[in-house]
Amino acid sequence: MAPRLQTESALGGILIADFGRVLAGPYATMLLADLGADVVKIERPGTGDDTRSWGPPWVAGESTYFLGLNRNKRSATLDLGTREGLDAARKLAGRADVVVENFRPGTMDRLGLGYQQLKVHNPGLVYCSITGFGPREGASLPGYDLLVQAVGGLMSITGPDSSQPTKVGVALVDVITGLHAAVGILAALRHRDRTGHGQQVEVNLLSSLLSAMTNQAAAYLAAGTVPAALGNRHPSIAPYEVFPTADRPLVIAVGNDRQFQALVGVLGLPGLADDPRFATNPSRVAHRDDLFATLRTALLTRSADDWFAELLSVGVPVGPINDIRQAFDLASRLGLRSVVEIDDPARGGACRQVANPISLSATPATYRQPPPRLGADDAGGHGPGLGSPGVRPD
């Protein structure tokens, strides 16, 4: 008999006390909530998470920024400046499997909610702290994504050239740090499964960015090369950039000599593959300006969609530059489940969200509830309070 597939969520039974705000922490806890964790989001009374007020755009008076980071969570408002609020927070953290926080270093300790304080009564606790620049010399520095993109080197390699440093068009450092936080939490939970002991997980924006710059960081550390902005070009591969066509821009990302031979064959320029300037990738990188000029002339003769279809058919990595709508349309045409709709009667119908990108065959992500209204799960209110889902606290 074939084994019975597991149907419960991968993280079912895991309670997360989420003191995170804005992006990195909420992104990490949303991913874990999708995988079945019960996430209680602790928010300030009256205002809640800062992102509740970050708009436009708005949907039914609510920020799409907040909505995109907080599904599958419960919301409880606690004033951590009062004895009652702190007592409730400590009780929740005392029985939680995971605590996530991104206050400035030292804040949670002053509130009696630090790891060393909580683990005394909850030795199995996994405690994740997210900071901008770590808990030591950088503790006082503000951890804003744009600031870290600047001081962390990302803006120096992004933009048309070194005179115009440019930020990435999304808070990428926060997202990367949230992913690192989720990985760290899962590793610590696995360790707890084996030993019964929790631990502290620490991630910070600067270290996460330095790790995520991969080949650019390796160029400096291994060879002493300080990378600079190259616009849409790649420092080590050519042709690997944006080209104009008869109607709209097209990306060509040739990674090896075989792909280059296929490219120039379709463009009617087969002799380029034997030209000493272009025969190998290192030579193409050394002569990228000459190569760009030659390819540009050929590509201007037809539309981006024409080139896209023909070049893909011979295995050349190529694609038009899509806007966000076109990107979702492409995912749909490729059969990817990139959008989910969550029933949301309180907001007048369905809440459309980006799907969790992790596909699990036995314990897939679930979408159990839309982003919570502020304080929806306060004790004595309309929600179940800080007890188990659907149960009033004792």
Q: Which CATH architecture best describes the domain 240-332?
A: 2-Layer Sandwich (3.30)
What integer pLDDT is reported at residue 392 of this predicted model? 30
pLDDT, tens only, 159-179 = 999 899 999 999 999 999 999
Question: Does residue 5 register a pLDDT over 80?
Answer: no
Could you read off the pLDDT of 181-200 as tens digits, one per residue?
Answer: 999 999 999 999 999 999 99
Q: What is the pLDDT of residues 225-271, one digit of tens each?
A: 999 999 999 999 999 999 999 999 999 999 999 999 999 999 999 99
The confidence score (pLDDT) of residue 7 equals 45
Q: 381 pLDDT exceeds 50?
A: no
List CB contacts of 198: < 8 A, sequence separation 6 or more: 119, 122, 123, 124, 125, 126, 127, 188, 192
pLDDT tens profile 282-319 = 999 999 999 999 999 999 999 999 999 999 999 999 99
**386 confidence band (pLDDT: 50, 70, 90):** low
Other residues' Cβ atoms within 10 Å of the Cβ of residue 197: 13
**Segment 16-36 mean pLDDT:** 97
Q: Do domains 15-212 and 240-332 have the same CATH topology?
A: no
Residue 1 pLDDT: 31
Q: Is the peptide bond before 249 cis (omega within 30 degrees of 0)?
A: no
Percent of the chain, pLDDT > 70?
94
Question: Over the range 150-177, which residues count as b (16 or more CB within 10 Å of their CB) and which as e?
Answer: ebbbbbbbbbeeeeebbbeeebbbbbbb
Give residue for tokens 């994504």.
145
Assigned CATH for 15-212: 3.40.50.10540
3-state helix, strand, coil in the chain (%, to 5): 40, 15, 45
Q: What is residue 387's predicted lDDT score, i.e. its pLDDT?
A: 58
Q: Which residue has the tokens 């659907």?
A: 390
pLDDT digits (tens, 9 = 90+) for 54-102: 999 999 889 999 999 999 999 999 999 999 999 999 999 999 999 999 9
* 326-347 pLDDT per residue, tens: 999 999 999 999 999 999 987 8
Contact 53, 208 (CB under 8 A): no
The domain ranges of the chain are: 15-212, 240-332
Alpha carbon 69 to chain centroid, angstroms = 10
Q: Which residues are catalytic?
A: 174
Check residue 380 and give its pLDDT: 52
